[in-house]
Chains A and B, each alone.
Chain A
Amino acid sequence: MPSESPAVPGSPPTAATAIETRGLTKRFGERAAIDGVDLLVPSGCAFGFLGPNGAGKTTMIRMLLGLTGASAGSMKLLGHPVPGERGIALRRVGAIVEEPRFHPYLTARKNLRIVAAVRGHGAAERIEPSLARVGLAERADDKVKKYSMGMRQRLGVARCLLADPLLLILDEPTNGLDPGGIQEFREMIRAMVEQEGRTVFLSSHLLDEVEKICDAAAIVDRGKIITQGPIAEISSGGDGARNELNVGVDDVELALHTLEGSETVKEVHRSDDGIRVVLAGELQSAAQVNASLVRAGVGVMRLEPVRHSLEQRFLEITSRLDEAPGGAHHPAPAGPHAAPEEASG
């Protein structure tokens, strides 16, 4: 667990919401890179900020960290308004923006010493544990110019850990990593959330990565948040009770006729390899569907729940946006965490 320091005056409180933005906007001339974003990132989870390249993810992160100013709106980090209390808010925030950069002619340890001196607040004492935490203790006296991309990413995380962060903000953290490095990185992020109680805000254009690492996510496109909430809710279209079955049958017509009007079935239609059934209730009612079909004399060869993937949902959302007149963004169904207005612009 990250150490708490409630006794230290001005230290960030443990906020229920790690990141909160209201109407956050960033304009470059006429173009809005971020357009009225309301975002809520709960504490103690891995939160994915998902969107295609150019969607505004890095701009959003840069605003949160005070690297660039916002054109409108408000934001809070760990309960502190930014930029008003930026210094206090960032005291317990670690961040990697785009690729992690270092002074290449200095050793890893000296690079961390530089940031620790700027941070203060005991950061210097965390240099060795941070290097050990990311597995670089034995290479800490090598110059960073000799490091691979994966090692630089890990050193970037070590630099974040100097803050003993309650919140880590990572921008496309697996860029340039090989599959082994990605797996290692995932495990490290999950451990930070589950074992150490930190909040991780992770931006990515890789759906699979967000789905594997994160508990919740927001999908952003063209500067707007389309939907946000737990991964399972987003994947199922924001309706947690939407359970579907793929059923392989020997007589499709009879199966459709049998299930239409059934209380346990909300929708049923033909699919490529049988029928697709949307259940009215929980997945357990699949047994009743099977029994109804068998009673009606339909041979059931296969019955499997449909697993909704984030990728599927993401493509649904973005294709819906493309279909909208003038490419305008239309509201998409979302879970209880969905922001009420941001998808409507």
Chain B
Amino acid sequence: MTAIAVRMVGVDLLKLRKKRSTVIWALFLALVPLLIFFVVNAVQHASDPSKHGPAGGVENFHTGLRLIGGLLFGPLVAILIGVEAGTNDASAGVFRDLVVTGRSRLALFASRVPAGLALCWSVIIGAYALILLGTFVFAGSEPTPGGALILNSLGYLLLATGVLCVVAVGFSSLILSKPGAIIALIAWQIIATPLISSISSLGSARDFVLYVSLAHFSPIKLDGGKGTEVSLAGGTGALVIVLWLVVFLGLGAWRTRTMDA
């Protein structure tokens, strides 16, 4: 990246970091469910150790990972931040002021993506640190996850939230409505995705659901071993993820390049 591109990403990240409402909601969604999970389990274990196991250990690590890497909290964080990155300039009315600098519109669009990813991953890494903290601090006599699982889980979380964040940047840059983009993406994620995934008659068409492809790369069963996950080949999963990225980045870039500012 050129020096100007680095500075553009830097100021896009500044805009996101300083958007207090988005950051607070992202932190709330990433951290509070985990805090509740570990604190409640720890209190239960302390009050009745014979009935309730320790709050940490590998089993609870899995549960913590499902909370963030599953359908709900991690994706919500990624959607919130991605949509903010995609619509920030347009909703503040400053996009035209950036266009009149003469800088290419594609460059303006491109700088949103790494900025969104940087904030999204910062929050997700914070949440993952909390999972690890709870896992080891409250482990008691339970076994703890090994180094490979810890690294693979981190990689999966970054992949799953990063892809969704980039899709959110592209989609929101396309429709240019912050509330519209958030509602549509959340509805897709928490209503349409589980619904489509559960319709077995759709067969391999379900492979094109982003979450299905992402879940394929998870080091643990995200459905908790209930057998509801759609199985697909690794190559197919990677292809579907790339397809989602290309389509939504392409649409967002096209709209940014061609719209009246």
Contact = CB atoms under 8 A, between A and B. Distances in A.
Chain B associates with chain A: yes
B20 A105 contact: yes
Interface string B83-106: 000001000111011111111100
Given A67-B261, A97-B100, A118 B11 contact: yes
B260 A65 contact: no
Contact of A114 (B4, B14, B96): B14
Given A87-B104, A93-B100, A118-B108, A106 B18 contact: yes
Contacts of B19: 105
B198 to A, nearest CB: 42
A67 B18 CA distance: 27
A86 B99 CA distance: 10
Interface string A178-193: 0000000000000000
Contacts of A114: 11, 14-15, 94, 98
Contacts of B4: 117-118, 120
B93 A101 contact: yes
A105 B100 CA distance: 22
B99 A119 contact: no
A81 B114 CA distance: 33
Size category of the B interface is 20 to 34
A66 B11 CA distance: 23
Interface in A47-75: 62, 65-68
B33 interface: no
B103 A67 contact: no
B10 interface: yes
B117 to A, nearest CB: 18
B52 interface: no
A101 B97 contact: yes
A22 interface: no
Contacts of B103: 87, 118-119
B102 A90 contact: yes
A146 to B, nearest CB: 15
B94 A101 contact: yes
Q: Which of A68, A111, A117, A159 has the most CB of B within 10 A?
A: A117
Contacts of A86: 102
A103 B92 contact: yes
A89 B175 CA distance: 30
Nearest to B261: A67
Nearest to A159: B97
A102 B102 contact: no
Interface in B1-53: 3-4, 7-8, 10-11, 14-15, 18-20
Nearest to A121: B4
Given A110-B14, A114-B15, A117-B11, A90 B92 contact: no
Interface in B164-222: none
Nearest to B10: A117
Contacts of A117: 4, 7-8, 10-11
Q: Is the interface of B mostly helix, strand, loop or mixed?
A: helix
Contacts of A200: none
A213 interface: no
Contacts of A120: 3-4, 7
Contacts of B8: 117-118
A88 interface: yes
Nearest to A85: B102
A105 B101 contact: no
Contacts of A159: 97
Nearest to B89: A103
Interface in B98-140: 98-104, 108
Contacts of B18: 103, 105-106, 110
A106 B261 CA distance: 22
Nearest to A96: B97
B99 A163 contact: no
B99 A115 contact: no
Nearest to B93: A101
A222 interface: no
B260 A118 contact: no
B55 to A, nearest CB: 38
Contacts of A95: 97, 100
A91 interface: yes
Nearest to B111: A118
Nearest to A169: B100
Across the A-B interface, the 7 shortest Cβ-Cβ residue pairs: A90-B102, A101-B93, A117-B7, A67-B261, A117-B11, A87-B102, A120-B4
26 contacts: A65-B96, A65-B99, A67-B100, A87-B104, A90-B100, A90-B102, A93-B100, A95-B97, A97-B96, A97-B100, A101-B92, A101-B94, A101-B96, A102-B92, A103-B15, A103-B88, A103-B92, A105-B19, A110-B14, A111-B94, A114-B11, A114-B94, A117-B10, A118-B101, A119-B101, A159-B97
Given A67-B261, A115-B98, 4 more contacts: A87-B103, A101-B92, A106-B18, A110-B14
Interface of A: 62, 65-68, 86-91, 93, 95, 97, 100-106, 110-111, 113-115, 117-120, 159, 163
